[in-house]
Amino acid sequence: MTTTYSIGELAREFDVTTRTIRFYEDQGLLSPRRRGQTRIYSPADRTTLKLILRGKRLGFSLAESRDLIRMYRPASDNRQQLEALLERIADKRAQLERQLADIRVLQTELDDAEARTRQALTTL
């Protein structure tokens, strides 16, 4: 009763090629079930793909996205590892803060650019 997806369905939904999705699997970012040769994607796989593409829009490398995926799952019971994970999470958070600041600066620069452009238009 749980929904599943074919590779083509996911490709269409997220506007990527099937090659891209298989490549992500090759890089260890996805590991869908198989029915014979054919890949069967679960809702969790779909969520992972969404996470990867969100990362891409923010300029993350696939290695960074792989890291993000691991953050999103415990996958360890080792104290050392869990504490290291907390640090990596904090680092990512700091990076996102920097990106936020960068976006805000760019937004005001676009404001300026637009104002000057409109000004140039009125003086024609």
- Binding to DNA in span 14-33, by CB under 7 A: 16-20, 22-23, 27
Q: Is 85 in the site for DNA (CB under 7 A)?
A: no
Question: HEC string of 42-87?
Answer: CHHHHHHHHHHHHHHHCCCCHHHHHHHHHHHCCCCCCHHHHHHHHH
Binding piece for a second copy, criterion CB under 8 A, among 1-9, 17-25, 35-43, 88-96 = 88-96
Using the minimum distance from each CB to a second copy, give the nearer residue, 26 or 77.
77
Sign of CA dihedral 72, 77, 67, 101: positive
Q: How far apart are the first and last CA of the chain?
A: 65
Binding piece for a second copy, criterion CB under 8 A, among 9-17, 19-27, 30-38, 67-75 = 67-75
Using the minimum distance from each CB to DNA, give the nearer residue, 91 or 111.
91
